[in-house]
Amino acid sequence: MAEKRTSRDENYAKWYNELVIKADLAEFSGVRGCMVIKPYGFAIWEKMQAELDRMFKETGHQNAYFPLFIPKSYFSKEASHVDGFAKECAVVTHYRLKNDPNGKGVIVDEDAKLEEELVVRPTSETIIWDTYKNWIQSYRDLPILVNQWANVVRWEMRTRLFLRTAEFLWQEGHTAHATKDEAVQESKQMLEIYGEFAENFMAMPVLKGTKTEEERFAGALETYCIEALMQDGKALQAGTSHFLGQNFAKAFDVKYATKEGKEEYVWATSWGVSTRLMGALIMTHSDDQGLVLPPKLAPFQVVIVPIYRKPEQLEAIREKAKEIMAELRGLGVSVKFDDRDTHKPGWKFNEYELKGVPVRLGIGPRDLENGTVEVARRDTLEKDVLDLTGIAVKVKNLLSQIQDNLYQKALTFREEKTFKADSWEEFEEMIEKGGFVHAHWDGTSETEVKIKEMTKATIRCIPLNNTLEEGKCILTGKPSSQRVVFARAY
């Protein structure tokens, strides 16, 4: 741990990259833009998956699996979708390699060219609606409430670990409904679930809103989103839920017979969150000492580090640690005892700070004598010596406090970084400072694009339940009935 690490103030982007690598979360691979998610990082993702999967199932969704490959022609079937998605994609053109006749490894076998190229899925609406067509005949077959956990590929030119990678992991829900109203309700429900997950598990406050037409998903009639604010004042879109209307049903000819025997097109939604959430989690809470994890998503919530000179001291500490671990596990707290003799306690303290373990317990011979333990919390870096009596309950309560504190801290930060701009000058200045800027906008894509070109700020969302308020567009001065939220974004 001797090497100097970059601080957030020095260089936020560099701090982030260093942290992701040093905390053993992920790294780039030998394949351009593709990451390796390391065991510690993957364990956090598994925690996220478990909670989300539970929430999806509790609301009646089932998991399924659809092909990785999509025939090229499928993309052309939904006009706006093809523009948004079929471009920067990995394209499979051949299905065989052969030995190089010159003896230099393998080469593509030109005789094994596919009749139709296959696109590695950037998102699965097209292949799924091609499948749903055979699943849906009558109203009895609806709704279909399906989710899949999968890898997807979008050929990004500029990549960043977790935030933007050529391949990433995500879940994509794809539902089919008999009525428009039901589909709209579904897309709103999933937005609520994403919001609840972000706030209650990631301890990350989010704005909920709708996207402007310009920022909408390719093929959607409405895109609902959750937007979070990172510590550098940039926004991050953390999840989206789309009301797709009948666009995909029409593109893939998916109709159902109503109770009355009429034929109607099916209504659709899709919704997803990805390993990008890992980036959001890291950037929301971490500090110059390393990762800070909310207890609900930490691979292990407590680590016990023995402080000893002699083997018999270690044995005595181990006995006490076993008792404490049994009590903690009984309360549903995950705990690790680090008795490695290859590293000193100080090294371990740094290691667990870097890895964001919420609570660290240090026990030495003096503690055993006094019936005490040193309790260090990662969020505030505070240390305290506590009586061992009832320590498990105290730690469990502390974890709950840490979870709340992280959320409150992030919320306070966001509030301090939320501004109202009433003139172009104010707007430019605030955008430059970073944060969410509530401002009036004339509702046109033209103005939105101009503002983006001038300031790099985009409209992150039109908040749900927004207060209506007469005003003038900050750029054009044209009338506006509500403020929208601008920010520079990841």
Residue 406 as a binder of a copy of itself (CB under 8 A): the answer is no
Q: Which of residues 16, 42, 162, 197 is near a copy of itself by CB under 8 A? A: 42
Q: Which of residues 97, 331, 385, 449 is near a copy of itself by CB under 8 A? A: 97
End-to-end CA distance of the chain: 30
Residue 48 as a binder of a copy of itself (CB under 8 A): the answer is no
Residue 353 as a binder of a copy of itself (CB under 8 A): the answer is no
Residue closer to a copy of itself (CB basis): 66 or 265: 66
Angle at 43 between CA 281 and CA 383, to 5 degrees: 65
CB atoms within 10 A of CB 385: 12
Residue 190 as a binder of a copy of itself (CB under 8 A): the answer is no
Residue 300 as a binder of a copy of itself (CB under 8 A): the answer is no
Residue 137 as a binder of a copy of itself (CB under 8 A): the answer is no
Q: Of 207, 236, 231, give the one whose Cα is nearest residue 485.
A: 207
Match 């706006």 to its residue by tokens. 80
Strand order across the beta sheet in which 383-387 lies: 335-337, 302-306, 359-363, 372-377, 383-387
Measured over the CA atoms of residue 39, residue 159, residue 428 and residue 421, the dihedral's sign is negative
Residue 129 as a binder of a copy of itself (CB under 8 A): the answer is no
Residue 82 as a binder of a copy of itself (CB under 8 A): the answer is yes
Backbone angles phi, psi at 362, to 5 degrees: -110, 130
**Is 267 in contact with 255 (CB distance < 8 Å)?**
no
Residue closer to a copy of itself (CB basis): 101 or 467: 101
Residue closer to a copy of itself (CB basis): 96 or 366: 96
**Is 228 in contact with 238 (CB distance < 8 Å)?**
yes
Residue closer to a copy of itself (CB basis): 131 or 241: 131
What is the per-residue binding string for a copy of itself in 324-343, x denoting contact by CB under 8 A?
A: ------------------x-
Residue 87 as a binder of a copy of itself (CB under 8 A): the answer is yes
Q: Select from 93-101, 288-296, 328-336, 397-405 the region that touches a copy of itself (CB under 8 A).
A: 93-101
Residue closer to a copy of itself (CB basis): 34 or 386: 34
Measured over the CA atoms of residue 75, residue 226, residue 180 and residue 170, the dihedral's sign is positive
Residue 385 as a binder of a copy of itself (CB under 8 A): the answer is no
Burial 157-188 (b: 16+ CB within 10 A, else e): eebbbbbbbbbbbbbbbbbbbbeeeebbebbb
Q: Select from 147-155, 215-223, 313-321, 472-480 the region that touches a copy of itself (CB under 8 A).
A: 147-155
Q: Of 284, 233, 298, give the one whose Cα is nearest residue 16.
A: 284
Residue closer to a copy of itself (CB basis): 4 or 104: 104
Residue 281 DSSP code:
H
Angle at 175 between CA 171 and CA 180, to 5 degrees: 140
Q: Minimum distance between the CB of residue 251 and a copy of itself, rounded to whole angstroms? A: 12
Q: Minimum distance between the CB of residue 96 and a copy of itself, rounded to whole angstroms? A: 6
Rounded CA Rg of the chain: 26
What is the per-residue binding string for a copy of itself in 56-75, x denoting contact by CB under 8 A?
A: ------xxxxxxxxxxxxxx
Residues that bind a copy of itself (CB under 8 A): 27, 29-31, 34-39, 42-43, 46, 62-76, 82, 86-98, 104-108, 117-120, 127, 130-131, 134, 140, 146, 150-151, 153, 155, 167, 169, 342
